[in-house]
Amino acid sequence: MKLTFDKGGNRKKVPNHYTIEVNMYDLQPSVSASQLRVRLCSASTGNCTSYKEPTGSNYMYVKFTNMYGGGYYVDVRDTISGSVSGQLYAIGYQ
């Protein structure tokens, strides 16, 4: 999933220091938050945040603070054998 924030141009300039929240739900098989890790990677530089453990149980989320405007890929890693599927969405706000 790629998440993009406008960095300027003809549209309103996006301020730095955004909070980006990644939300996950309807995960199959059922997993606990301690079995997942989430990070964001810059689409332009390839630099990534550290992995973070989500909070919650049926509905899990992770917050990344002080993020700059730009595009990000969401990278989710699981620690169980097999694969995990479900729904994911991300939002950015000040």
HEC letters along the chain: CEEECCCCCCCCCCCCCEEEEEEEEEEECCCCHHHEEEEEEECCCCCECCCECCEECCEEEEEEEEECCCEEEEEEEECCCCCCEEEEEEEEEC
Give residue-wise pLDDT tens across range 23-73: 999 998 889 999 999 999 998 899 999 999 999 988 999 999 999 888 889
pLDDT band at 16 (very low <50, low <70, confident <90, very high): low
